[in-house]
Amino acid sequence: MVIPMERFVVSARKYRPALFDTVVGQEAVTGTLKNAIKNDHLAQAFLFTGPRGVGKTTCARILARTINCENLGPDLVPCGTCAPCRTFDEGHSLNIFELDAASNNSVDDIRNLILQVQIAPQVGTKKVYIIDEVHMLSSAAFNAFLKTLEEPPSYAIFILATTEKHKILPTILSRCQVFDFRRITVGDIAKHLAGIAQKEGIEAEPQALHTIAQKADGGLRDALSIFDQLVSFAGHRLTYQDVVKNLNVLDHEHYFSLTDQLLQGNTAGALVEFNTILFQGFDGHLFVTGLARHFRDLLVSQDPRTIPLLEVSEDLGVRYAQQAQAVPRDLLVKGLERLGQVDTQYKNSKEPRLLVELALIQLSRLHAGDGGHTAALAEAAPEAQKKSPDVTSAASPDVVPGPAAPVPAPPAVVPVAYEAPPVAAPVASAPPPHPAPAPSPAPVRRLAGNVSIKQTLERPAESLVAEPAPLMDAPGTEPATPDGPVRALNLALLLKTWKDYALARKREGKNSLHATLTAHEPMIAGPRTISFSIVNAVQENYMREEKPTLLGHLRRELGDPGLDLNVVKEEITDLRPRYTPKDKFAILAEKNPALLGLRDALDLDLG
């Protein structure tokens, strides 16, 4: 004997609210509608707008059923026994009409609706028309509906629902009372799911329900759909691990463990944890955003006033509070800033995994003032000095002291005296007041010029000039004069840098500025002076506005913070008339008339 199976009804329909008081997370909307019914101050056109699955159509049905009930009590609860209530419960109400504008969006559909509006209700006192996805109506349909919406019969009420309010014509909006439905909070969704689980006899962990609520992103219908899916998998016991496994959600344990590794300065442990996450099939971009969210929650947990902003379960909130006390605020703030940069660069990066790993290495060294940062850099310093005597740290902008233990002597760098160009007087270097000390651990110095370590090692020692790291000037300020010898300007590098800057301005749409910069070539007027010529007032105005930015760019690219730029306005002395091709041909034809016959024979256009 075959036992008939009970028909399954999804939770979104089975537990759909039937009263205003049972609507989840929309207290402002339901309160306004209840007061309007009590005071007999109900409008004839409403527009319900908001994200999907937050209760727009549900509230429209509750409103339609409530105003049609013949025995409505003071608490605005429909009686359920009158004819309008019974027909509504049975699904064939004569006073409530629902129209899907996505499939009925033409002028003819709206004309049929207008004809129905002219018929008075046979049962009850109001006819309610619920038009869902109203933004799908065509412009002609909107215009056809406009007059009826503005002056409907006294018994007709229109409720328009949409997820895209910006697509509704302003003339429609001005004739409706607009109610904006908000996203439902994680706490409200988790509480509602807990009530449904209890009614269904399902044992669900609070953290599992919170994870479902976070995944739903403010939509209660999405949360109920996910809940049904997970119950089908897990049965009558729903655990946090079941939710994480089925929803492809990164476990919080990964973030807690990774944060501990970063606090200890354990770079290797952080990289191994990241590799484990990738091995489980999770996307690196998802990991970056999740870690940023974890840092945000830790930052929120450090102050009791911001703890309500933490949308997690109580058990998880205790763990956040414990770890938040151990994490410095500076690490969280700088970590959020760095992860934000990785988030924006991830999609355009050709090596996204390397980008994330580099960020983790930098985060593990952000614990300033502890042994983790200093120890990690001290271990890396000997290897770096073996490769080059002058290396700038990529992980930290600060000057890194050398190790206490003696290291192999770096390759000798022989300073070379500067030879000034013929146009300027030579610059003499003052002899050092004391003999040079023996090689000892010292702050890292930068080689003259922007060259790589490999290029530095391959160049002969005689071609290197040691000078202090440049002090970059802000655009528009007086150039600094660092101590040390002056380096001769490279004309080829100057012309290339100037041309690249002009092309960059052209790509920004500044064609006139590009024409000004390319009208003449810059010239070297001294050891630290560049001269550029202009010929008119228009070019003078362009260069006056662009000079601070251009000068800062040249200083950075040429590696000379003391560089200066002189803009010289030349007087135009060549006032000879300029001849067009036609003028030149006329002069030549006057001397040689045979050119006229040649032009006519070949049908030339001298343009």
In the predicted model, is pLDDT for residue 407 greater than 80? Answer: no
Average pLDDT over residues 429-455: 45
Work out the pLDDT band at 327, boundaries 50, 70, 90.
Answer: confident
Work out the pLDDT band at 448, boundaries 50, 70, 90.
Answer: very low
210: Cβ contacts below 8 Å, ≥ 6 apart:
186, 190, 311, 312, 313, 316
**Side chain identity at residue 26, one-letter code:** Q
Work out the pLDDT band at 607, boundaries 50, 70, 90.
Answer: low
List the strands of the sheet with 127-132, edge to edge. 96-100, 127-132, 156-162, 45-49, 177-180
The residue whose two tokens read 């300065």 is 265
* pLDDT value of residue 406: 45
Cβ-count burial of 170 within 10 angstroms (0-12 exposed, 13-18 middle, 19+ buried)?
A: exposed
Work out the pLDDT band at 574, boundaries 50, 70, 90.
Answer: low
* pLDDT value of residue 213: 86
Residues 45/177, Cβ–Cβ less than 8 Å: yes
User: Length of the chain in residues, anyone?
Assistant: 607
Q: Of 79-93, 170-184, 223-237, 518-532, give the lowest mean pLDDT range.
A: 79-93
* pLDDT value of residue 485: 52
Q: Of 142-156, 328-342, 378-392, 451-465, give the lowest mean pLDDT range.
A: 378-392
Instruction: Give me the percent of the chain exceeding a pLDDT of 70.
Output: 77
Average pLDDT over residues 485-504: 82
Q: What are phi and psi of 415, to 5 degrees?
A: -65, 145
Work out the pLDDT band at 390, boundaries 50, 70, 90.
Answer: very low
In the chain, the N- to C-terminal Cα span, in Å, equals 99
- The pLDDT tens digits for 37-69 are 888 888 888 999 988 888 888 899 888 888 888
pLDDT, averaged across the chain: 76
In the predicted model, is pLDDT for residue 494 greater than 70? Answer: yes
Work out the pLDDT band at 460, boundaries 50, 70, 90.
Answer: very low
* pLDDT value of residue 237: 84
In the predicted model, is pLDDT for residue 159 greater than 80? Answer: yes
Instruction: Give me the percent of the chain exceeding a pLDDT of 90.
Output: 1
Q: How many other CB atoms are found less than 10 A from the CB of residue 374? A: 16
CA 91, chain centre distance (Å): 46
**Side chain identity at residue 56, one-letter code:** K
Structural element, H or E, at residue 212: helix 206-216
Instruction: Spell 297-313 as b/e; 16+ CB within 10 A means b.
Output: bbbbbbeeeeeeebbbb
* pLDDT value of residue 410: 43
Average pLDDT over residues 234-242: 82
* pLDDT value of residue 5: 53
In the predicted model, is pLDDT for residue 479 greater than 50? Answer: no
DSSP letter string, 452-512:
-HHHHHHS-GGG--B-PPP-PPPTTSPPP--SSPPPPP-HHHHHHHHHHHHHHHHHTT-HH
Q: What are phi and psi of 187, to 5 degrees?
A: -65, -40
Cβ-count burial of 167 within 10 angstroms (0-12 exposed, 13-18 middle, 19+ buried)?
A: exposed
Give the tokens for residue 288: 């970056």
For CA atoms 308, 313, 315, 320, the dihedral sign is negative
d(CA 551, CA 533): 15
Work out the pLDDT band at 490, boundaries 50, 70, 90.
Answer: confident
CA angle 586, 589, 592 (to 5 degrees): 160
| Separation in Å, CA 432 to CA 418, 461, 482 | 16, 21, 16
Greater model confidence, 115 or 573: 115
Residues 527/489, Cβ–Cβ less than 8 Å: yes
d(CA 237, CA 42): 46
Query: 3-state SS string over 360-385?
Result: HHHHHCCCCCCHHHHHHHHHHHHHHH
d(CA 68, CA 52): 27
- The pLDDT tens digits for 199-232 are 888 888 888 888 888 888 788 888 888 888 888 8
- The pLDDT tens digits for 80-139 are 788 888 888 887 788 888 888 888 888 888 888 888 888 888 777 888 889 888 888 888
d(CA 52, CA 220): 9
Instruction: Please tell me the pTM assigned to this model.
Output: 0.53
Query: 3-state SS string over 144-202?
Result: HHHHHHHCCCCCEEEEEEECCHHHCCHHHHCCCEEEECCCCCHHHHHHHHHHHHHHHCC
d(CA 232, CA 294): 30
CA 483, chain centre distance (Å): 43
Domains in the chain, please, with CATH?
Answer: 11-180 (3.40.50.300), 186-247 (1.10.8.60), 252-372 (1.20.272.10), 491-569 (3.30.300), 577-607 (no CATH)
- The pLDDT tens digits for 7-37 are 777 888 888 888 888 888 888 888 888 888 8
* pLDDT value of residue 414: 42
d(CA 259, CA 63): 50
